[in-house]
Structure 1
Amino acid sequence: MTTEERPYQDERPRPQRGRRVLVVLLVLLLLLVGLLVVADRVAAGVAERALTEQVREELATQGVQAGPPEVEIGGFPFVTQVLDGRYERISIGLKEVRGSVQGDVLALPTLDIDAYDVTASLDTLRSGRGGVIAGSVTGTGTISYDSLATRLDREGLQLGERDGRLAVTAPVDILGQQVPVSGTADITVEQGQVALRFTGLTAEGLPNGSLARMLLSNFAEGISVDVPLPALPFDLTVSEVRPLPEGLQITAEAVEVPINAAS
């Protein structure tokens, strides 16, 4: 058979086979990455449970009354942080942080704590022995307005937020007449206590006269108090207080903080 008589043969490569191989490789790669991510998160979960127990013991040691802590380790991947013994961020969520203050109970419905640059060896996480130290810690929580109102102990007094300030309304007996009083407070932090100073109170229908004004001033002075806070864990010191619709938010900070009792 001559060359001219040979049947035509297409010797070009078949791209479909190459594409199938590429798809298979991509699927395998994605499965591998998925397995690594799952394994990383499982390992993080094990470490979080170990830290939760250590944090619970530390809270008990410090006499902090709160619900069970919820611990979450931030940053990815987790395994590289374990090998380095240093963690970007560890978040600790506490609920119903309470403390008795002269017979009254102030409550922080939530206290969210972020510990940064945390040093903890693998052996510490595994055995629970050894120190866990945070380079810095920030905590934010709220004091319920009901708790504050109970502390001020004035019948009918209500607290809330208005234009970013702590506002008060209350019925006040002035010269035998019930007068609705309202105003705002200046808030400062003094030696770990929240200082409330009510100024510029106004009363609708207040009778004229210096005596009525003096009684209004006395009421403002009576509700201007220093409010001790519940004991905060991890050496947290209040640095800022600001009114929010849901309560009085506090921000507290600390540096070089032991996270577990072994520290």
Structure 2
Amino acid sequence: MRALRTTLVVLVILAGVFVAVDRVAVYVAESQAEDRVKVDGARIGSTDISIKGFPFLTQVAGSELDEVDVKITGIETTAAGRTLRISTMNAELHEVRLTDGFSGATAAHATGTAVISYEDLTKAASDGVAVEYGGKGKVKVTGAVNILGRTMSRSVLSSVTLVDGHTVRVRADKVPGEGIPGLEGLVREKTDFEREVGGLPNGLKLEKIQPTSDGLEISVTGTDVRLAG
């Protein structure tokens, strides 16, 4: 009986050691992975990696991780001379295959959310234009136009849509004309614009966009999503 108890104690200790070693290995792997995340054609700020599933060591032995959660803060790309910054992107990667001596990682499928703040959207808009949340799924766009030497500021409520799965289009629902010929066209030249959203990891595509109080919220999905290597 004493031998059995001793054996059980040893097994518990070994299990505890295995768990501790496994968790340390996860921590080290997450830290190394954060330094290796690259996005083609874009600059990124900080990256946070969380490897799910237990035990981690057996997943590594099989060269595939069940789930990896990724948060990237500050993804910057340039299109048509304008920089568009994705404030944050959170993605859940599933069935992540480790390749190239564990220096590369490709997820079989992924889902996530990217957010473009109104501050960043304002910087990407035309000069002198400000964008903010307009309520009820709309954005408020304010710009100044010059009519016969007089500067007039106009604000419009605009709809935001996705074009061809990679471009954000902001277009005013209605522009107050106030009986001034050509005013609507001048206002739209300022307030209506399109900007391409780049800088997403290869394999991710935009699915849906929705203005919220925190910014433009974009749903993303993808297959064979490559994050590193």
TM-score when scaled to structure 2? 0.78
SS at match of 1:69: strand
SS at match of 1:235: strand
Question: 1:8-19 to 2 correspondence within 5 Å?
Answer: none
Equivalence for 1:124: 101
SS at match of 2:45: coil
How much is the aligned-residue C-alpha RMSD, in angstroms? 3.4
Percent identity between matched residues is 26
Residues 37, 105 of structure 1: CA spacing in aligned structure 2 closer, same or farther, 3 A cutoff? Answer: same
Q: Looking at CA atoms only, which structure, 1 or 2, has the larger radius of gyration?
A: 1
- Verify: 1:239 aligned to 2:202, yes or no: no
- Verify: 1:183 aligned to 2:143, yes or no: no
Distance 2:32 2:125 in 1: 41
Deviations 1:188-235 (A, max 9, x none): 232511112211234xxx74x3x35x5135413542221112322223
Deviations 1:78-133 (A, max 9, x none): 23322333211112222221122333322122222322111227x933xx4xx533
Equivalence for 1:18: none
Equivalence for 1:167: 140
SS at match of 1:200: coil
Distance 1:104 1:177 in 2: 25
Residues 222, 29 of structure 1: CA spacing in aligned structure 2 closer, same or farther, 3 A cutoff? Answer: same
TM-score when scaled to structure 1? 0.70
- Verify: 1:229 aligned to 2:197, yes or no: yes
Distance 2:160 2:47 in 1: 33
Distance 1:109 1:133 in 2: 23
Which one of 87, 111, 116 corresponds to residue 143 of structure 1? 116
Equivalence for 1:73: 51
Q: CA deviation at 1:186?
A: 3.9
Which one of 19, 23, 27 corresponds to residue 45 of structure 1? 27
Distance 1:242 1:86 in 2: 34
Which structure carries more helix by proportion? 1
* Paired residues of 1:185 and 1:199 also in contact (CA < 8 A): yes
SS at match of 1:45: helix
Deviations 1:33-74 (A, max 9, x none): 54433222112123223433442xx43xx2320124322211
Unpaired segments ≥5 residues, structure 2: none
Equivalence for 1:84: 62
Structure 1 ranges of 4+ moved more than 6 A: 24-30
Deviations 1:172-200 (A, max 9, x none): 56674746533232422325111122112
Distance 1:40 1:153 in 2: 51
SS at match of 1:82: helix
Distance 2:134 2:205 in 1: 23
| 2:19 partner amino acid | V
Distance 1:169 1:255 in 2: 38
| 1:163 partner amino acid | K
Equivalence for 2:168: 194
SS at match of 2:44: coil
Distance 1:132 1:178 in 2: 53
Count of residues in correspondence between the two structures: 226
